[in-house]
Amino acid sequence: MSDPIQFVENGSVTTPSGFKACGITAGLKASGKADMAMVYSDVPANFAGAFTSCLFAAAPVQLCRQRVLKSKFIQAIIVNSGNANACTGKPGLENAEKTCAAVAAVLGISPEAVMVSSTGRIGVNLNMEKIMNGVALAAKSLCSDGGLDAAKAIMTTDTVHKCAAVTLNLNGRKISIGGMTKGAGMISPKMVLPHATMLCYITTDAQIDNALLAEMLGNGVDGSFNRITIDNDMSTNDSCILMANGKSGVSIAAGSEEAALFSEALGRLMQHLAVAMVRDGEGATKLITVDVTGARNRDEAEKAARAVANSMLCKTAWFGGDPNWGRVAAALGYSGAMFEQEKVDVFYNDKPVIRQGKDAGTPEKTLAAEMAGKEFTIFCRLNAGDGAYHIWTCDLTYEYVKINAEYTT
């Protein structure tokens, strides 16, 4: 039986029916590259959002949280790169509101139907003249194949744009889900509902109410963006927004088989975008999966996985191709997960590294060969219970230090 969920070649946020997007240059970046994106639905769309749990949440995040709580529909998202509008106090919040009002005026919709995001340097006020000019240009540039340009316009230190889409058939009718994301550094989201720098925008032409969208988005975030870490730094601006405009004519109800299939498709898309972010991590040369099983419970499995994934000693060893498994053992030991070291087994891919808490005897050359590829998995078997968790991370390189030592957007 063929897979009912299929990825679309060159898919983006404009793959679903009834969505337009664009990416333009407003002049916010010194580089002169595209720095503003707009996503627009032809009709009001149901929506859900998840945002950073950082207490220094940026002004756009604060405003969008209110939209999630108070607005029934949204119709547009405006995103600028080059300036985070974070730690800018009351003027920053006012500027976020002015940006939404400008978008609303030029599109003929309510300001409450506009979501806003920013990414870039923290602590600098927006140049509102450039923002206003950019909004006007973006509105004129909206088109049904503008998803790729939008994905490029939200990049900061990213080296490649990240967008994708999937289609699925429900009762003989096709619906689409499209998405775009950015983020290569300051990535260790812990996004919460409703109140994840990574930015993600997802569109679908299915008809789904806000409550069900929120549930699906929460599950999707838990299985994707909240399971990635590049440098264990959470951004002030992390945001993930999902819009559903119903233009396909397919309605999805809670508890239905259609809802289960849609949720699976959404999860696959989000995971694809999340892993793409880790692959493009600042300076990264390797994608590493840390898979922990046999913990006493899920929480302890997550603690163990994150300790290994975020260990600078582990990350630098991975960059150097050094099998130094003592660093993995140490990270597991200080993670807060409880286990008996004599029962722990660790593998690099399928090669045993630790057996019952001691050197498994696999030659270092063999282990180094497992680490030589661009992707590998570290399996940690704690043998203390049935808790499991996996996380995607990357290595730590000279280039990461260079990028962040010189970073000014």
Q: Are residues 263 and 306 in the same domain?
A: no
Place of tokens 């002049």: 27
Q: What is the pLDDT of residue 337?
A: 98
Q: What is the domain extent for residue 275?
A: 5-279
Instruction: Give the rounded distance of the alpha carbon of 389 from its chain centre.
Output: 18
The tens digit of pLDDT for each residue in 192-219 reads 443 345 789 999 999 999 999 999 999 9
User: CA 386, 387, 390, 395 torsion: positive or negative?
Assistant: negative
| Segment 106-112 mean pLDDT | 98
Residues 44 and 83 in one domain: yes
pLDDT at 191 over 70: no
pLDDT of residue 188: 46
In this structure, are 301 and 204 located in the same domain? no
Cβ contacts of 298 within 8 Å, gap of 6 or more: 387, 388, 389
- Nearest CA to 387 out of 304, 327, 310, 307 is that of 304
- The pLDDT value recorded for residue 289 is 98
Residues 314 and 234 occupy one common structural domain:
no
327 & 347 share domain: yes
pLDDT (average), residues 113-132: 94
Domain end residue (candidates: 279, 296, 317): 279
pLDDT recorded at residue 151: 96
Rounded to the nearest integer, the mean pLDDT of the chain is 92
pLDDT band at 399 (very low <50, low <70, confident <90, very high): confident
Mean pLDDT of the region 172-184 = 89
Residue pair 267/356 in contact by the 8 Å Cβ criterion: no
CA distance 186 to 313: 18
- DSSP notation for 280-312: T-TT---EEEEEEEEESSHHHHHHHHHHHHH-H
Residue 350, CA distances (Å) to 99, 156, 347, 378 in order: 52, 37, 6, 9
Angstrom distance (rounded) from CA 59 to CA 46: 23
DSSP category for residue 38: E
Kindly state whether residues 272 and 327 are assigned to the same domain.
no
Residue 281 pLDDT > 60: yes
**Reported confidence tier of residue 184, pLDDT bands at 50, 70, 90:** low
| Residues 157, 196 share a domain | yes
pLDDT at residue number 190: 55
Decide: 257 and 357 in contact? Cβ < 8 Å: no
Beta strand spans in 88-207 (E): 114-119, 162-170, 173-182, 199-204
Strand-pair partners of 379: 291, 347
254 and 342 together in one domain: no
Q: Which of these, 207, 192, 76, 59, lies nearest to 135 by C-alpha position?
A: 76
Is the same domain home to 295 and 263? no
Report helix, strand or coil for 51: strand
Domain count, the chain: 2
Count other C-beta atoms under 10 Å from residue 107's C-beta: 19
pLDDT number for residue 261: 96
Instruction: Look up the CATH number of the domain holding residue 338.
Output: 3.10.20.340
Q: Where among 247, 279, 311 does a domain terminate?
A: 279
Do 174 and 96 lie in a common domain?
yes
Please tell me the predicted confidence (pLDDT) of residue 192: 46
286-291 average pLDDT score? 97
Q: What share of the chain is helix, strand, coil (3-state, %, to 5)?
A: 35, 25, 35
Rounded (10°) CA dihedral 313, 314, 317, 322: 130
Beta-ladder partners of 381: 293, 345
Task: Report H helices in 322-387.
Answer: 325-334, 364-371
Question: In this structure, are residues 311 and 346 in contact, taking their beta carbons and an 8 Å threshold?
Answer: no
Residues 275 and 292 in one domain: no
- Quote the pTM value: 0.92
Q: Which residues are catalytic?
A: 197
Q: In what order do the strands lie in the sheet with 345-348?
A: 358-359, 351-355, 345-348, 375-381, 287-295, 387-394
- pLDDT score recorded for residue 233: 67
Are the C-beta atoms of residues 84 and 197 closer than 8 Å to each other? Answer: yes
**pLDDT-above-90 percentage for the chain:** 81
Question: Which range (39-43, 60-64, 133-137, 157-161) has the least confidence?
Answer: 157-161
Same domain, 85 and 223: yes
CATH code of 46's domain: 3.60.70.12
Give φ, ψ of 55 to 5 degrees: -70, -20
Instruction: Identify the band that residue 153 occupies on the pLDDT scale cut at 50, 70 and 90.
Output: very high
Q: Which of 279, 306, 332 is the last residue of a domain?
A: 279
